[in-house]
A = this chain, B = another copy of it.
Amino acid sequence: MRGQMKFGLYIPTRLLFGAGELNQLATAGLPGKKALLVVSAGGSMARLGYLDRVRALLAQGGADSVVFDRVQPNPIRATVMEGTEVCRAEGCDFVVGLGGGSSIDTAKAIAITAAMGGDFWDYVHGGTGGGKRVERALPIVAIPTTAGTGTEVDLWGVITNEQTREKMGFGCPQIFPTMAIVDPDLMMSVPPRLTAYQGFDAFFHAAEGYISHSHSPASDLYALEAIRLLYKYLPVAVADGNNRWARIKVAWASTLAGMVESTAGCTGEHALEHALSAFKPELPHGAGLIAISGAYFKTLKNDVMKRLMKMSEKMTQQKAARPSDFLDALEVMKRECGVADLKLSQWGFTAAHLDDLVENAVTTGASMLDNDPRFLNREELREIYAASL
């Protein structure tokens, strides 16, 4: 927050939220005539019947669609360029991202490159990115099938440069989705462990935003509500994936946390995690965050005492006495979600990786590290990793 309560608030995405609301896709007014429909390579969207359903709804809405089903977890630059070629060759005038964060972020990246031309990495700021300004992007419709990234209501995406091993965030107002349909019914089949990983990703979007340098009265409102809802309902959704009410609450919390990303932004915790999954793409983003979260928030314990206590109060609904109450509540939540024992060593990280990880985080995550409530030096970053092995 700059100075004395000065802030901006701009989230132009039209959100349609609710169980069954996917059907609105046919009537809500599509932003074009031919969609590039971006989904993962795994085939789950076809298996679950979502792909056919979305294509049928697009057709009802008057739009043709071309499927691009090549997106990997931790999507890479080469895939963005491949999708861009299909998009241009087929004459698509908008993109639809259907799936988890990987599919929607890839759709956002394609929307930029298809409209601007050139290589996607030209438009990445920081690291080896070209730092070019994005003037326009194709309109984007986001349909998340997981509750975690919040990318459906934010101006960010994350793509990995497979050649340079940089997992980099990119962002500009042009990639706010025109429309986001958040239908919790599409999330019912996410298995327990992924539900936990994704839900904690949302939790940390909110918690990082709340302690961040750039927090505002608007982001605080979104963040505290997301934190309250996730503490209460994420363990329920993990324990019983068929609990529709819990799925609905977790989905709304994830979208709220996305609105935090659009109004405050992530901090060093996310920078540290991006470095981890740049080295080990098989590490789920949420799992990486969970593994380092205890050490990260402990390091900042005395810098944002009041804010940690406030988050603790929203979680436990009890008066907080000290900042470590937040650390305790976080441990309780992890335990209830069955993810209290995650260690980086389970993904093969050892003390030998620490220097490279810190170097990668500092290089690729500078803007997020700048958003920490207090600047963490390399030694401190190294210790957060070391404590999480």
A residues whose Cβ falls under 8 Å from a Cβ of B: 2-21, 217, 221-222, 225, 248, 252
Report the minimum CB–CB distance from A59 to chain B (whole Å). Answer: 23
- State the copy count for this chain: 2
> Which residue on chain B has the smallest CB distance to residue A3?
B18
Are B8 and A16 in contact, CB atoms less than 8 angstroms apart?
A: yes
Contacts of A4 in B (CB 8 A): 18-19, 248
> Quick one: which of B3, B9, B18 contacts A5, CB cutoff 8 A?
B18
Are A17 and B12 in contact, CB atoms less than 8 angstroms apart?
A: no
Contacts of A17 in B (CB 8 A): 5-9
Are A15 and B9 in contact, CB atoms less than 8 angstroms apart?
A: yes
- A-B contacts besides A10-B15, A221-B221, A221-B222, 16 pairs, CB < 8 Å: A2-B18, A3-B18, A4-B18, A4-B248, A5-B19, A6-B19, A6-B21, A7-B17, A7-B18, A8-B15, A8-B16, A9-B17, A10-B13, A12-B12, A12-B14, A217-B252
> Which residue on chain B has the smallest CB distance to residue A15?
B9
Q: Counting chain B CB atoms within 10 Å of each CB, which of A8, A9, A12, A225 scores highest?
A: A9
Contacts of A252 in B (CB 8 A): 5, 217
Are B6 and A10 in contact, CB atoms less than 8 angstroms apart?
A: no
> Which residue on chain B has the smallest CB distance to residue A18?
B6
Are B10 and A14 in contact, CB atoms less than 8 angstroms apart?
A: yes
Report the minimum CB–CB distance from A8 to chain B (whole Å). Answer: 5
Contacts of A14 in B (CB 8 A): 8-10, 12
Are A221 and B217 in contact, CB atoms less than 8 angstroms apart?
A: no
Bound complex: CA A4 to CA B249 (Å): 11
Bound complex: CA A248 to CA B216 (Å): 13
Report the minimum CB–CB distance from A259 to chain B (whole Å). Answer: 9
Contacts of A21 in B (CB 8 A): 6
Bound complex: CA A355 to CA B222 (Å): 45
Contacts of A7 in B (CB 8 A): 17-18
Report the minimum CB–CB distance from A241 to chain B (whole Å). Answer: 18
> Which residue on chain B has the smallest CB distance to residue A178?
B12
Report the minimum CB–CB distance from A122 to chain B (whole Å). Answer: 23
Bound complex: CA A5 to CA B229 (Å): 14
